[in-house]
Structure 1
């Protein structure tokens, strides 16, 4: 064994699923699986050793998260991987963690769902106003949370876990987009979504700004498995769309085909309306009972902030071609995602008429964008209405570049 490496059990609650060698800087070495607990091994790492190494690396906070470098320096970590190990790879999304070999720790001692904690990493990368009391700090800080935006986990006075998110740049539009999405789901009468609320945060320069917050939909009894992790359990052909492999995996896990298509139909069409260009496979998940391993259905729709042309400068909004938008999803052309929709009536276009006053909460110089955002949204709504009336709107133009996965 590497002299600097230590041995840890990867635990699923109190079930050891493998024994791992991990170096002081968080690099994974040899892995010995506990075949008696094979069913509890992380789905994303089951196919082979390389997949498991990728699952482990993906568990760490992304190096690209805003403020990550300075936070690591202040906390004395050499990397996000070393922070992951120091905090026992605990998460508020699932029930996996690591136990140093020889230490007498249990899930009850360490888990973030029932033990008090302060998200120290999040505290440094995002200075929230403490609008809700935080609990005392323990050694078990949250060191695993996907995504590049500033994020911070907190506990409210009733013990409920919630996440605060920030924004890129000087605008608050990503947070406002989450509120916009929440209102759209409410108007549709759709229930399986994550509600977001606005919160006040300190932004660069100690200026009071806006972020958003949402409560954790996971618990000791419900954990999430991302679509990306599920896709690691099957072989996918080069340039193949992720849609059908994901459907095959989900149906194999016991999700009803109608449930799958209804959820995807609704999500694809509402993402189209909002021009959400970031429905990648880590922004779709299924829920599982960690004890029985029963699949409980899709996780509530979450992370819709990268939408409504948030990153397009005002002067370029008039040049947007709404039939030629690229997205990170099953395939890269947004309009062609509509080809997967089975029931075109899953979204009520009449109930998708939206009030844009929420964007008046953005910084003043961004207010000139509001009429253009409204116009682009209404054009998308009319496109969706035409689609629901039977028109295959992706056939409106010829594509010079072949779309992958169609």
Structure 2
């Protein structure tokens, strides 16, 4: 973490723990193995199913099937936390390589958002010094990080982030704020053809500010669950114990939004980097697959297989969240009348619980 060694991996595969309390949660095992380390490193990199993943990897001459090799090539650097992989011959410091402070390889950002790769001829030295968060930014949609006025913003295709933001604001549920990206920003990384395609399918480019930092990391529920399994703990019960009101509000939010994409990497907790301890829930994020047009969506955040409505109804009985803010707001511009009617119907159903 930063300049502090946490785990030393020998050439023979033996692992020596140097700072147990600040290890990544999936590696907080007294008998951590090289296989454990490889799995953690591999899980840090983008999935081949992400939009333009092949174009990104091809441009960097990186393998498409060996995620561990991809992670080593970019030092495992991410904007979700302050961990990285430093090999013996690497003389760089955290201050020289981290993504929070240093310039990003913007040509990779352009590829990740538009798929354009043809006019780049990369020198070998560029490939040896990959400096981009795009290789460790998870999710399936086209997205890319851009620095503006000293702050980092994630741009992505996802119009439903905007109405989800408005609805969660009206309900007072903590979440990540999204805005529609400005034309001058979009023009810097999208071709006219790509912009026309996005407009033709009724989508928009949106952006949100980075919510982690050099002092505060995100621990996904997937990582937290792996930690709990090591010690025989029930991850769902432990997640609710950390902050039960936030856990219950997430159930209500997902039902109101009819969100079918709250998978284990799409929610989680903040960790204090100095202590390695969880400090609370991350604000809710990633709602570009909300407002699905079918009912009876299953919850992905409960131990038992229940519907979003069942999880939300149980939560509402306990915390009695005030839902009146929805009746006072106008229909979000990016929702159809039918979608907005469904939102109000779901809210009304919860109010009658």
For the 8 Å contact 1:176–1:358, the answer to whether it is kept is no
Partner of 2:286 in structure 1? Answer: 303
> Distance in 2 between the 1:13 and 1:376 partners?
47
Q: Once the 2 structures are TM-superposed, how far is the Cα of residue 343 of structure 1 from its aligned partner?
A: 5.2
> Distance in 1 between the 2:102 and 2:18 partners?
29
How large is the Cα RMSD of the aligned pairs? 2.8
1:1-400 pair list within 5 angstroms? 12-20=1-9, 31-47=13-29, 48-49=32-33, 50-79=35-64, 81=67, 82-127=69-114, 139-142=130-133, 143-157=135-149, 159-166=150-157, 175-190=158-173, 192-199=174-181, 200=183, 201=186, 202=190, 205-208=193-196, 209=198, 210-235=204-229, 245-248=235-238, 251=241, 255=242, 260-309=243-292, 312=293, 320=294, 322=295, 324-330=296-302, 331=305, 333-338=307-312, 340-341=314-315, 344-353=318-327, 354-359=329-334, 370-387=336-353
Seen in structure 2, the aligned counterparts of structure 1 residues 182 and 279 have a Cα distance that, compared at 3 Å, is: same
What SS does the aligned partner of 1:358 have?
A: coil
For the 8 Å contact 2:2–2:82, the answer to whether it is kept is yes
For the 8 Å contact 1:284–1:301, the answer to whether it is kept is yes
> Distance in 2 between the 1:52 and 1:332 partners?
34
Partner of 2:122 in structure 1? Answer: none
Seen in structure 2, the aligned counterparts of structure 1 residues 189 and 333 have a Cα distance that, compared at 3 Å, is: closer
Q: Once the 2 structures are TM-superposed, how far is the Cα of residue 269 of structure 1 from its aligned partner?
A: 0.6
- Structure 2 gaps, min length 5: 116-125, 199-203
Identify the structure with the greater strand proportion. 1
Q: Once the 2 structures are TM-superposed, how far is the Cα of residue 248 of structure 1 from its aligned partner?
A: 2.1
> Distance in 2 between the 1:228 and 1:97 partners?
19
> Distance in 2 between the 1:103 and 1:113 partners?
19
For the 8 Å contact 1:14–1:106, the answer to whether it is kept is yes
How many aligned residue pairs are there? Answer: 319
Partner of 1:397 in structure 2? Answer: none
Seen in structure 2, the aligned counterparts of structure 1 residues 100 and 304 have a Cα distance that, compared at 3 Å, is: same
Seen in structure 2, the aligned counterparts of structure 1 residues 165 and 31 have a Cα distance that, compared at 3 Å, is: farther
TM-score calculated relative to the size of structure 1: 0.71
Q: Once the 2 structures are TM-superposed, how far is the Cα of residue 325 of structure 1 from its aligned partner?
A: 2.1
Higher relative contact order (CA 8 A, sep 6+): 2
Q: Once the 2 structures are TM-superposed, how far is the Cα of residue 349 of structure 1 from its aligned partner?
A: 1.8
Q: Once the 2 structures are TM-superposed, how far is the Cα of residue 177 of structure 1 from its aligned partner?
A: 1.6
What SS does the aligned partner of 1:176 have?
A: coil
Q: Once the 2 structures are TM-superposed, how far is the Cα of residue 110 of structure 1 from its aligned partner?
A: 0.9
For the 8 Å contact 2:109–2:146, the answer to whether it is kept is no
